[in-house]
A and B are shown apart, each in its own frame.
Chain A
Amino acid sequence: MDWEFISTNIPLYREAAVLTVKIGFAGILVAILLGLLCEIIVYCRIPVLRRAVAVYIELSRNTPLLIQLFFIYYGLPKIGIRTDAQACGVAGLAFLGGSYMAEAFRSGVEAVGAAQEESAYSLGLSRMQTIRYVILPQAFAISAPAFVANVIFLLKETSVFSAVSLMDLMFTAKDLIGLYYNTTESLALLVVFYLLILLPVSLLGSVLERRLRYAGFGT
């Protein structure tokens, strides 16, 4: 193991890690909002949009992120929409993650059940109030485990960003291997940095899950 190589290149990885985390979390944030929007459309049975959501979910879940990124990065400019690599990364991740988040929220909403909805309606709450105060808080708590799993899954998916020439962790590792042939060291650093990003998220996730377990309620 070439320790000098490792120590000189750590700053390079750190920079790449910051970029990965930045794009990763921005993409996930948009994915959450997109998923929530999709679920509200499905829940409220909004006519045409509901169909669009169904098509989007199938499209997004059944195509690889790499291909989605290619489409956004190389395809969209052809129809006049310019994207830089970072925006493309965020958009790609959001496109992929939105459907996963929507499905997680949907299972949560379905688990809350019609009786809770009726209970809220019988108190004279409007539809929006029912969604906001009764359904969503419970649905969030119920879907927390799926939600955490999705966040981790999406963060891992960031490793394909290098394909659209984003200087992320994967890109940095491949670059160094190409330049110096220090394969072992480069890949070891890559693993360590991904762990540094993901382990805290995992731990935070399990704390969140435990805190929200009261959503299991019991009668």
Chain B
Amino acid sequence: MIVFVLLSLLAIAGALGTILWKNAVYSALSLVGTLLALACIFVTLEAQFLASVQVIVYAGAIMVLFLFVIMLLNAQYPSEDVDPLPWLSPVVIAGGVVLAGALAYTAFLYKAPKPLAEAAKALQGGAPGPVGETLFTKFLLPFEAVSLLLIIAVVGAVALVKREPEAKVQRETLEERATHTPEEVVV
């Protein structure tokens, strides 16, 4: 129980950090903290394989991609202009608190279908072997579908980020460039 409380406090702290930091880099790093805490919670939930995948794929690959894009776009700082919807924050926070309360309340209405210890044993610790067995028998079709989805995502990402054909871009001549001050050239 102590472990759970500590880990969940860590996860919640990370989550709050994600939404409260003004700097996007800090936000992303806080989220990494939450994800790591969740990975540890997965271990306590008899899901070892998922815990490791969570660390490798989520906290590793996906978050690195995030940080990379933040750095690339130089987008870590929030914009300074006035919020056009000033009434929104209090409403959202109130709604969020009610939602959290309601969800937590419903959570405690849940009645376990069978004794926990008995059920947990059946999971075999969520090792890669048993998980893989389910994945490649009962979930074979979703598995293949997801592989297709990944290909589509790769193609889609390339198509989205691909630049317009060069011809449309007005290239600066060297003469023009020479007349600008360096600050003007930087877009």
Q: Do A and B bind each other?
A: no
A-side residues, CB < 8 A to B, are none
